[in-house]
Amino acid sequence: MSDPIEHSDTTVADRQMLAEAIAREGGRIALAYFRDRSRLTIDQKTSGQDVVSIADKEVETLLRERIAASFPDDGLLGEEYGLQEGTSGFRWVMDPIDGTSPFVFGIPAWCVSIAIMRGDAIVAGVIYAPTTDELYSARRGGGATLNGQPIHVSSEATLQSGVLGLGANHRIPSRVVSGVVQQLLDEGGMFIRNGSGALMMAYVAAGRLAAYWEPHMNAWDCYAGYVLIKEAGGWIVDPSGWSSMSAGGAVIVGSPGTKADLLRIVGANAA
Ligand code: IPD
Ligand code: CA
Ligand code: CA
């Protein structure tokens, strides 16, 4: 995230507008499946806790078609259909449904997440939660909004007064998560895990959650959330510290009053 600020750059703004439109369009497709889950076919990926549905695939296909129609030279990276290189210098990083587990079980905590990169910089991010009709959108240097209204991270929350969003998965030893949870609780904090890391990152940007931590995420899970949180006045541990974009890495983000404590607790429990 090291490019000059992009707020007057229409090429980014045009793409952000398209991201907002297709997040809503894809979200409507997913919502129709969510409301009639008898139509869902579900396949296991790496484990019974890692599944994909026909809705995930249909939404990602729609996103790819819409982007290709407007920006045919842009690169595409999506969770379900992988990387397609482009030549324009822009790359879209997409999770058609973040929170597939809650989605397939009928729990309304899931979203469509779309980030736009220019070179190595994440320049815009959109997260749409269809069940609440909430559209979070941010462009680098242009601020963050929720349904068009400016949003900000909490100016007051600490780990003791607010709630930490927590992510866990089977890609990392369980003791890393249990260690952080134990120390957080011992220090008077509390956590929530709703099954959608992208949506919890949007909640940090909106001042609902104090911070978010997950020991490993992929780029499509968190890139849109990073822009939202930065533009809403929060801090992030920059993903340029990951070994590579495709490897993914730890996600540690929050509002100002959480930084020192969260970094200390996570650092003390590193893998
Ligand atoms: C998952 C969710 C979950 C997080 C996992 C992700 P998916 O994404 O964001 O909250 O803990 O690390 O893989 O599979 O629902 O797209
Ligand atoms: Ca995801
Ligand atoms: Ca997904």
Q: Residue 43: which H helix or E strand, with range? A: strand 42-47
Indicate whether 17 and 116 sit together in one domain: yes
Indicate whether 97 and 132 sit together in one domain: yes
The CB of 98 under 6 Å from ligand 1? The reply is yes
Query: Is 32 inside a domain boundary?
Result: yes
Range of the domain at 200: 164-268
CATH code of the domain containing 222: 3.40.190.80
Query: Is 227 inside a domain boundary?
Result: yes
Query: Is 2 inside a domain boundary?
Result: no
Model confidence pLDDT, tens digit, residues 173-226:
899 999 999 999 999 999 999 999 999 999 999 999 999 999 999 999 999 999
The CB of 165 under 6 Å from ligand 1? The reply is no
Model pTM? 0.95
Indicate whether 89 and 23 sit together in one domain: yes
| 36 alpha carbon – ligand 3 mean position (Å) | 19
Query: Is 155 inside a domain boundary?
Result: no
43 belongs to an annotated ligand binding site:
no
Q: Which ligand is nearest to the CA of 99?
A: 1
The strand order across the sheet containing 111-118 reads: 82-84, 75-78, 90-98, 111-118, 121-129, 134-139, 143-146, 149-150
- Per the CB < 8 A criterion, the answer to whether 17 and 10 are in contact is no
Query: Is 16 inside a domain boundary?
Result: yes
Q: What is the pLDDT of residue 77?
A: 98
Indicate whether 30 and 54 sit together in one domain: yes
Indicate whether 125 and 193 sit together in one domain: no
221 belongs to an annotated ligand binding site:
yes
Rounded CA-CA distance 127/104 in Å is 19
The protein residue with its alpha carbon nearest to ligand 1, atom 5, reads: 169
Count the domains in the chain: 2
Indicate whether 206 and 249 sit together in one domain: yes
The CB of 99 under 6 Å from ligand 1? The reply is yes
Model confidence pLDDT, tens digit, residues 38-93:
888 877 777 777 777 899 999 999 999 999 999 999 999 999 999 999 999 999 99
> Which residues neighbour ligand 3 (ion) by CB within 5 Å?
79, 95
